[in-house]
């Protein structure tokens, strides 16, 4: 008689709950110190890291889709959907701080000295997420976070350096986006003319506006000048690259 194989999927096994729910080891327990809120502190930060993992999962898929030589319209829709999901996760994650706020400063001090030199700055996933979104080293406020990490974590962060970022993938996709051009119709030329005509109309409307004071009229005209200057940079490669 052949032996049957049980392919049943059970909730706890599927979610690996035996690993997740046994992954909390308060330092206060090891030291024999009463610090009730350390469990809350650990679980909240573990939840952050799980959500960071999901965001990275979505982000990698978006970068991969946008990095293709040809991106189908339905794939653009998929990217938008997944970016909205990332945004929702980040917005929801911020609410986790309200849970931490139920822990007083004194409650935190019960175990804070036991965590040295641990810090949220050492979150590898958060640092990699920043880099994969497109934050450059030059624009980073804290440039010394690597010095606080263990060598293994440093390597994980450094492996993300040089990889295509969301900013770069989006830029590449925009540059590949085709526009209609024929002998009788040039998209960019028509686009520039249409926008220039809009700015000209806006200036005329402001000049003829009877209610505006001279000061208000100057401010609004300056605003249009700034907008037009930004738009015209699209047609000046040197200025455009500086803005990027």
Give the CATH number for residue 221: 1.20.58
Q: H-helix or E-strand containing 87? A: helix 73-94
Burial class (CB in 10 A: 0-12, 13-18, 19+), 66: buried
> Pick the residue with more confidence: 50 or 179?
50
**Do 19 and 132 belong to one domain?**
yes
The confidence score (pLDDT) of residue 143 equals 64
4 has a pLDDT exceeding 60: no
**Do 103 and 198 belong to one domain?**
no
**Do 145 and 200 belong to one domain?**
no
The confidence score (pLDDT) of residue 151 equals 85
Residues of the domain holding 100: 12-172
**Do 165 and 215 belong to one domain?**
no
**Do 207 and 116 belong to one domain?**
no
CA distance 117 to 149: 9
pTM, whole model, 2 decimals? 0.73
N-to-C CA span, the chain: 70
**Do 60 and 161 belong to one domain?**
yes
Tokens matching residue 201: 């109309």
CA distance 244 to 238: 10
Give the CATH number for residue 128: 1.20.58.480
Confidence of residue 37 (pLDDT cuts 50, 70, 90): very high
**Do 86 and 140 belong to one domain?**
yes
**Do 47 and 91 belong to one domain?**
yes
1 domain-assigned: no
**Do 185 and 151 belong to one domain?**
no
**Do 70 and 112 belong to one domain?**
yes
Number of domains present in the structure of the chain: 2
Q: If you average pLDDT over residues 125-153, what whole number do you get?
A: 82
Domain boundary pick from 139, 172, 205: 172
CA distance 218 to 222: 6
193 domain-assigned: yes
| 90: CB partners within 8 A, 6+ apart | 55
Domain boundary pick from 138, 172, 206: 172
Say what percent of the chain tops pLDDT 70: 95
223 domain-assigned: yes
80 domain-assigned: yes
Q: Which of 179, 99, 163, 166 is nearest to 133 (CA)?
A: 166
Domain boundary pick from 121, 140, 172: 172
Q: If you average pLDDT over residues 92-121, what whole number do you get?
A: 92
**Span of 68-77, 147-156, 191-200 with lowest mean pLDDT:** 147-156
Q: Are 43 and 24 in contact (CB under 8 A)?
A: yes
7 domain-assigned: no
**Do 96 and 201 belong to one domain?**
no
| 235: CB partners within 8 A, 6+ apart | 188, 192
Q: What are phi and psi of 181, to 5 degrees?
A: -140, 130
**Do 118 and 205 belong to one domain?**
no
């Amino acid at each position: 008689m052949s032996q049957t194989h049980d392919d049943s999927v059970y909730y706890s096994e599927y979610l690996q709950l035996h690993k997740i729910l046994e992954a909390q080891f308060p330092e206060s327990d090891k030291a024999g110190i009463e610090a009730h809120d350390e469990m809350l502190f650990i679980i909240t930060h573990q939840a952050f890291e799980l959500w960071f993992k999901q965001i990275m999962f979505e982000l990698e898929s978006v970068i991969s889709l946008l990095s293709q030589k040809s991106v189908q319209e339905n794939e653009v829709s998929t990217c938008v959907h997944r970016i909205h999901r990332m945004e929702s996760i980040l917005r929801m994650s911020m609410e986790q701080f309200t849970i931490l706020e139920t822990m007083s400063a004194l409650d935190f001090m019960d175990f804070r000295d036991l965590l040295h030199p641990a810090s949220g700055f050492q979150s590898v996933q958060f640092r990699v997420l920043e880099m994969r979104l497109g934050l450059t080293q030059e624009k980073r406020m804290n440039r010394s976070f690597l010095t606080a990490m263990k060598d293994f974590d440093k390597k994980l962060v450094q492996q993300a350096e040089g990889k295509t970022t969301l900013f770069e993938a989006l830029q590449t996709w925009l540059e590949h986006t085709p526009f209609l051009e024929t002998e009788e119709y040039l998209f960019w030329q028509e686009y520039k003319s249409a926008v220039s005509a809009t700015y000209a109309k806006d200036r005329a409307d402001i000049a003829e506006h009877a209610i505006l004071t001279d000061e208000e009229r100057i401010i609004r005209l300056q605003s249009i000048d700034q907008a037009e200057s930004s738009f015209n940079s699209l047609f000046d490669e040197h200025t455009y690259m500086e803005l990027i």
